[in-house]
Each structure stands twice: as structure tokens, then as C-alpha cells.
Structure 1
Amino acid sequence: MKKSYLALSLLAISTSAAWAQSSSVTLYGIVEAGVTNTSGVRGGNVTQVVSGIMDGSRLGVRGTEDLGGGFIAGFTLENRLEADSGATGNRPVSGSQLPDRMNQAKLLGLPAQLQPIVTGVAAQVGAGFGVNVANNFWDRQAYVRLVTPVGAVSAGRQYTPAYLMQAEFDIMQTQSSLAAGQVASFPSAIDIRQSNSVQYGIQTGGFTAAAMVAAGEGSASQGHFMGLMSYYRSDAFTVGFGYQERENENGQKSLKNLVLGASAALGPGKLSAMYVTAKDDNPSGLGGIRASLLGSPQTAPFAGLVSTAFINAFKQDSVLMHIGYKMTMGANTFYTAYSKLDDKTKANADTQSYGVAYTYSFSKRTDMNAVLTHFDNKGLGQMAPGGAGFLGGVTTSAGTDSNSFGVSLRHRF
């Protein structure tokens, strides 16, 4: 049976297991930088040097030790880095700007005279909009694991089960502005990683399954989390599903996801399709709004009203659909994809994306990439394209479309 990196209990270690047979530590990473031009955002057509068009740049350390008897211990520590600036986090081109439906009193269902208060709260909330704004050094992954003959257990900061399935059936595998998740990035429609998590996984033949729980300990924005996923892979096709849900900081049921996907060999390439639901009736991390408004005599009378309006604006009920095709011919890889976020809330903030991507591989480690993506925003939809390592943010106003073109050089080591 192939050993799974995904994640059994330490109690499974047998007293007959031999002492360590061998061990290794590997330094690895990806460094990618390029140039993008994005339209429809504040400043008009914005050209910038960025890190992570196709893959988020990173530096990782991975270690394994063979304990004998089919047991292998190991760890992964992975740091996020910005190749353009040397930082560990980034902000979108739109900065702290929120979508109109979250920064205009009228669209929030509030009296116009409360706009100054809304503007202040929107700035407060928007300040947390970005990637690793807390600048955690091991932000990407940090976990220890034990692989056994009957599965594996891992504990720490890890990718979530449903996100792994989304990455599996996204033809871009989350790379570039053409990735499915780009149209559902604000508010985030799926939890990508979980800290304080424990995961069990097993892989045998073409079947893989995993389950995760997380404590939410010490978090000011999240409570408990649980998730699971399973998929079957053959040479001809892959099918799978993922499910996860979490609580907010008050212990209420919050963001919940279901991912269904399938891919198959078709002609000279692969066709992949995916269906994702996101439901959140009790958004996380917004409790500070009411508390901040209560601190001032001028805003205290409206604290409950404004706080409730923002919470309602961040609720989610959406379906994300994706279909894409990938074809590799020698050193050339071609992609095309279409994704649509169907927002079922009263905001009707729909966004669809489509485009093409191309990769030319100089070697197994180094390639050049080009991506052209169009975002079509309908209703109160307002998303702008980003990349694998950064958020695109929002366009100038609801319903404004956006185009993105990017080229990059990527090296893996």
C-alpha cells in the first residue's frame, strides 16, 4: 500500500518497531516573479511587478525518518515569501477597498446619514483584506506527521480537505488568475488552511480519503472545524468529493462547503469539471465592529444596526462552477477554463471568468508563463483577477469588468 502524506494515531506505534533506519532533511521552494496589467481597478490600467502569478513563492523544509516496521515520521515547515519585495504578505491592487455592497450605506440597507460610520467600519474591515496580513513566518504549512501501515496522522497548520479537492479538479490547480477560486475570493468562499488541526488520511490503490478536525483555540475569529474528502484516481479518470464546515468565534455554525469534481483524459489532454457550494449564515470575525462603535458616544446608538448590516452583507449562499481543459505537447502546456460564481443572496453578486494560459518549460524546474483572463461582473459582482499568490481585490464599482494579462518566470528547487 502506498503511504499517504495526508495524515493514524501515535498510539499505533508498535513496540516491535525498529530504531530509526534512515533520515533526511530537504530544503525546497518555488520562486516566481512577473508583471501583470489589470484593468477596471482604481488607477485605471495598473501595471505592477508581482510574486506568484502561477504559484505562490515559498521556502520550505521537509524532513523524514524511517522508524522501521512501516512507520515513517516527518515534518513540513513552509514559509510564504514575496519575490518582488522580500515580504511575507501582500495586499491586493485595490488595497483596503471593499465591494460597494459592503461600503455603501444604501446597499447595506442603512439610512444615508450613516454613511460616515459605514465608511469608517469599511476601512476597519478592509485593513484585514490581503494575504498573510499578520506576517506569520510559517504561514503556508507547519505540521508533523506519522505514516503507518494503516494510514497517517498529521498535526499543525495544514491544507483543508475540501480545498484539496478544489485544487484537484481546478484545471489550473489553483494557479493564476484563471483558477476557479479567483471569482470567489472575497469574502473567501472556502477555508484554504487550518491551524491547530489534526488530520488522518489513508491511501490504497487508487483510493484516497482523509478527515480533519481543528480546535480553533485562541482564535478571535473562528471556532471548531471539521472536514473530510475522498477521491478515486485511475489512468483514465478521477472522481471525488470534499466537505467541510466551521464555527465562528461565538460557536455558531459558519462557513460550510461541498465540493464535487471529476476529470478524464480526453484526446491529447485532460478535461476537468467541478461544482462547489458555499453557505455561511454566521460570518466569522466581525464581532469587533459592534465593540468598536460602542466606544464612541457618536456611534454607540447605531452600533447594533450597523454591525448587523455588515454581518448580513458578509453572509454567503453561492455555487461555483468550473470547467477547463489542459493539453501538454513537449515543452508546451496550454490551458483554457471557464468559472462562474452564482451568488444566491439578495446582492446577486455574480462573477464569471474565462481565458487562456500557456507554459513553456525550459526544464523540469524552470518555465515561462503567460495568462490572459477576463472577469465579467454582474449585479453587485465586483471581483478583480489576482494570482496564485495574491488577491486581485475589487474593481472600481459594482458591475465593472476587469481584464488581466500576466507573464512570469518560475523556478522550482
Structure 2
Amino acid sequence: MKKIAIAAAIAALSAPVFAQSSVTLWGRINTSVESIKTGNRDRVASVINNNSRLGFKGTEDLGSGLKASFALEHGLNSDDGRQTDVNANGTARAFWNREASVQLSGDFGAVRLGRWTPGSYYATADYVSMHNHDTGTSEDKLYSGAGFTQTNKVGYFTPNVSGFNAEFALHAGEGVDPRGYDVALNYDQGPLHLGAGYSKQGDANQWAIRGLYELGAFTFGGYAQREDDSRSLGKDKRWIGRAAVMYTMGQSEFHLNVGGTKAGGSSFNSGRNGGKQYTLAYNYNLSKRTKLYAFYTAVDATTANKVDDLNSFALGIRHNF
């Protein structure tokens, strides 16, 4: 009886702690059917994964405004069910290839350790990619990843003060690659949304600014990026830019965005070429979590013989859970 009483007492004491903890399974399945033409090849019909993912996140309330949390996010191929393809250098991607982090937060902001996508990207190029979350064949092909580091990071996130917030992250090279750092600044208040980002690793760095303004049914946005990467072929510095507009009407969204850059730098096939990209898209929101979409995207590159050209007509479904 004493053992039962002690066990009951421990359970009673533990119950409030468990009640303040939570773990959530979440994700996105985003798949399209497309007619794609690349370079001088024949047009082909394809089923395309648009950065689908599966994740777990959890939070524990530690009291006095202090919280501990974690995030694990896996990128998967929704077209064939496999793990996301290999990296550009041919190495296998990590299973938790989108995020694996632990965080402590409070009135002071938040401190995070692990792997996650740099805030400089979310503050600029991703924010402007309104039509399909910068994914799949219609992703921003021009944005530079110079100084772009995801792994082995320590980051600090400021509290939101009157619409302002910032992220500062350091990358530990661990004797394998150069140390790096990433800075992101955001302002979101009313119809005006501004952002800036800077990243540097070794000899590669980039900075960008972003603006977005909501005017009734219209949303206008754009970013400008300056890339400096002495490792690349040709010119080591160049400007990259994109402008985007969205018009909403009921459950429908109409999108147009245009981007361009000159040859050089590290982005867009290792500096071999410059180019322009055009995307025209339509989204129909069945709910807050599910939408149908269609788009046409085209890349007009300066590479000889249209080697890096691309255009695609797509119909797709995106579902968040």
C-alpha cells in the first residue's frame, strides 16, 4: 500500500509538468504535374515534388516565462516517397536535412543550437516568393547562396519590439570548413514589411534588402542582393534582383514575378551565366491549409546553346497539416 501511495503522489506532482509540455507532428505535401523543357531537350511530362516536408516540434513551459523547445524537420520527395535527393556535390543529405535544433526562450528572446535555414534567406528572397513558397521548378533560380550555412550553428533571436526583430547566428567550422555568420533584420507592422540579410563564410558573402507593401487587394514586393564570391568563375561581384506582385480576389490569388542577374558570382550554375526568370501563377485556396495552383515559369539564361534554359507549365496541390 505504501508503494502505491508513493507512486500516486509522484504522478500527482508530475501531472502539472506534463500538462505544460506538447509535441506536434506537422508537415507539408506539395506536388505538381508539369510539362517541362530544359535546354535543347524534348519537353517531358513529370510529377514534381515542391519541397515537401515532415516535422516534429515540441515545447515545455518551464515557468516564469521560460520555455524549452525543439524542432526536427525532414525533407522528402512527395513524387516517389524517397528521401530528398543528394546534395549538389553528390553526397547524401542528412535525414533531418531541413532542421534539427533545440532552443531556450523567454522575455530575453531565444537562444538556438543546431541546424536550420539562415534567417537572411527568410528575411529576403523567401519572403518575396509568394506564389509557391520558393519551391520546385518555379523556385528563385537566381538568389545567391554565397556564405549560406545551415549546420553547426548557435543563434540568438531577439524579442519582437514594435514590429522589429532580428536573428544573429554563428557557424562553427569545426576544423572542416570556414567559420561563418548570418544576420537577419525584419520589420512587420501594418501593410509595410521590410527585411535585410547578410551572410559570410570564408571568402564568400552576400547581403540583400527586401520590401513588401500591401495595398488593398494588391501586394507589391521585391528584393535586391549583392553577391561577392571570389571562388567563382568570371566576375566575383554582381547584383541580383526580383520584383513580385499578387492580386487577391476572394479565394483566388494572381501572381507575377520577374528576376534577373548578370553573369558571374557563385549562384546560378557556378557563375557560368546570367539570366532572367519569369513566373505567372494562379492559386485557389480551398482552405487555410489546402490550395490548388497553376503556374508557368521560364528561365532565359545567357549560356550558349540554351544549356541552362528552362520552362514549365504546372498544375499542383499543396496541403499543410
For normalisation by structure 1, the TM-score amounts to: 0.67
Counterpart CA distance in 2 for 1:344 and 1:32 is: 32
Task: Indicate conservation of the 8 Å contact 1:89/1:133, yes or no.
Answer: no
2:96 alignment partner in structure 1 = 138
The aligned length equals: 298
Counterpart CA distance in 2 for 1:189 and 1:315 is: 16
Structure 2 counterparts to residues 6-405 of structure 1, below 5 A? 22-41=20-39, 43-52=41-50, 56-90=51-85, 129=88, 133-166=91-124, 167-172=126-131, 173-179=133-139, 181-184=140-143, 189-190=145-146, 193-202=149-158, 203-217=160-174, 219=176, 222-247=177-202, 254-282=203-231, 313=233, 316-344=236-264, 349-378=273-302, 380=303, 397-398=305-306, 401-405=309-313
Secondary structure of the 1:204 match is: coil
Query: How many Å apart are 1:192 and its aligned residue?
Result: 5.3
Residues 312-339 of structure 1 deviation map (CA, whole Å, 9 limit, x = unaligned)? 5387422111110112222211111010
Structure 1: 5+ residue runs without aligned partners? 1-17, 92-127, 248-253, 283-311, 383-396
Counterpart CA distance in 1 for 2:156 and 2:42 is: 48
Secondary structure of the 2:145 match is: coil
In structure 2, relative to structure 1, the CA distance for the partners of 1:275 and 1:141 (3 Å cut) is same
In structure 2, relative to structure 1, the CA distance for the partners of 1:170 and 1:368 (3 Å cut) is closer
Higher RCO, 1 vs 2 (CA within 8 Å, ≥6 residues apart): 1
Letter in 2 for 1:79: H
Query: How many Å apart are 1:42 and its aligned residue?
Result: 5.7
In structure 2, relative to structure 1, the CA distance for the partners of 1:375 and 1:32 (3 Å cut) is same
Structure 2: 5+ residue runs without aligned partners? 1-15, 266-270
Residue 409 (str. 1) matches residue 317 (str. 2): yes
Residues 53-89 of structure 1 deviation map (CA, whole Å, 9 limit, x = unaligned)? xxx1111000000111111110000011111111112
Secondary structure of the 1:195 match is: coil
Task: Indicate conservation of the 8 Å contact 2:35/2:313, yes or no.
Answer: yes
In structure 2, relative to structure 1, the CA distance for the partners of 1:157 and 1:204 (3 Å cut) is same
Counterpart CA distance in 2 for 1:83 and 1:191 is: 29
Secondary structure of the 1:189 match is: coil
Task: Indicate conservation of the 8 Å contact 1:171/1:272, yes or no.
Answer: no
In structure 2, relative to structure 1, the CA distance for the partners of 1:156 and 1:68 (3 Å cut) is same
Counterpart CA distance in 2 for 1:19 and 1:87 is: 38
Task: Indicate conservation of the 8 Å contact 2:85/2:93, yes or no.
Answer: no
Task: Indicate conservation of the 8 Å contact 1:20/1:68, yes or no.
Answer: no
The runs of at least 4 aligned residues of structure 1 exceeding 6 Å deviation read 18-21
Task: Indicate conservation of the 8 Å contact 2:146/2:229, yes or no.
Answer: no
Counterpart CA distance in 1 for 2:114 and 2:236 is: 28
Secondary structure of the 1:239 match is: strand
Counterpart CA distance in 1 for 2:141 and 2:93 is: 22
Q: Larger % of strand: which?
A: 2
Counterpart CA distance in 2 for 1:61 and 1:213 is: 24
Task: Indicate conservation of the 8 Å contact 2:21/2:58, yes or no.
Answer: yes
Residues 148-183 of structure 1 deviation map (CA, whole Å, 9 limit, x = unaligned)? 11111001001112112121234444245444x313
Q: Percent identity between the aligned chains?
A: 28
Secondary structure of the 2:48 match is: strand
Counterpart CA distance in 2 for 1:267 and 1:78 is: 35
Query: How many Å apart are 1:37 and its aligned residue?
Result: 1.6
Counterpart CA distance in 2 for 1:193 and 1:80 is: 17
In structure 2, relative to structure 1, the CA distance for the partners of 1:193 and 1:360 (3 Å cut) is farther
